Amino acid sequence: TLVASDDASVTILDVPAELNVVKLANPTTVVEPGDAVTFDFTVTNTSPVDVITLNSATDTIYGDLNTLGDCDFNRDLGPGDAYSCSFTTDVTGDGGTQVINTAIVAGVDDDGNDVQASDQATVDILNTAASLVADKQASPTTLPPGGGSVNFQFAVTNTSPADALTIETLTDNVFGDLDGQGDCSVPQVLAPGESYSCNLDSVIVGDPGDTHVNEVTATGVSDDGVPVSANDNAVVRILAALRSIPAMGQWGLLALILGMPLTVWWQIRRRRTRIAK
């Protein structure tokens, strides 16, 4: 009698657990200096059999995601399960730059294996044009014949929405470089919306009826390296001389004095004559 036997064994292989993270930014572009952006996160357990316990979720810029918006990653995900959340924050920066941040989600599967996944989002910050406005005022704007003293006020305003400006020169087509004249001084650094003003007193002379026009020009550069300039002018008019009344002489004055009563008497007589008729 022959007896034969054999043992058979089956080995169950472990399938590595996997996570998938998707991070999205909305919008993906903002205008300098920045704006609100909503970041959306979706974490999916792509394992076919393992349960994954999430134990951390961090962002390279914003830190612990569990403290932001409606996010709470402290949970278990069964095979194929997904979890989503979002938060909104201001993304700021200089024009032409990118803000790139990465979300990293980590956990452990039911076999004790560590799992981790990450994804990043990019927000482009668009540049805005730098702008400068110049203003020049004269006081007074009219002078007596021959001329007189005038106070000129110069002002420059940074009208850029985001850029700081460095005002490098202030020049006048009559007075030249204004740096050091009156109380004017350059360079000046102006934040968005900020202004700088200075004054200069000068004597303006000219013939009666003349018009004095002079123009100020401000030049500078933005913090992005973009040149800016602006100009404005002021007008001062010299009044014409008043015409003198010719001298009448003593006989002319006497005729005027005597003639006025006679004129009145004649008008009264004419009126009475018309009434009598």
Could you report the per-residue pLDDT of 5-19, keeping only the tens digit for each? 555 555 544 567 899
- For residue 4, the model assigns a pLDDT of 54
Assign 245 a pLDDT band (cuts: 50, 70, 90): very low
Per-residue pLDDT tens digits for 47-71: 989 999 999 999 999 999 999 999 9
* Closest CA relative to residue 178, chosen from 158, 159, 157, 197: 197
Which comes out higher in pLDDT, residue 4 or 171? Answer: 171
- For residue 13, the model assigns a pLDDT of 47
pTM (predicted TM-score): 0.60
State the average pLDDT for the chain. Answer: 88
Per-residue pLDDT tens digits for 99-132: 999 999 999 999 899 999 999 999 999 988 899 9
| CA pair distance 109, 19, nearest whole angstrom | 10
For the chain, how far is it from start to end, CA to CA, in angstroms? Answer: 180
Angle, vertex CA 163, rays to CA 157 and CA 165, nearest 5: 50
Q: Are 46 and 57 in contact (CB under 8 A)?
A: no
Please report where in the chains the tokens 């482009």 appear, as a residue.
124
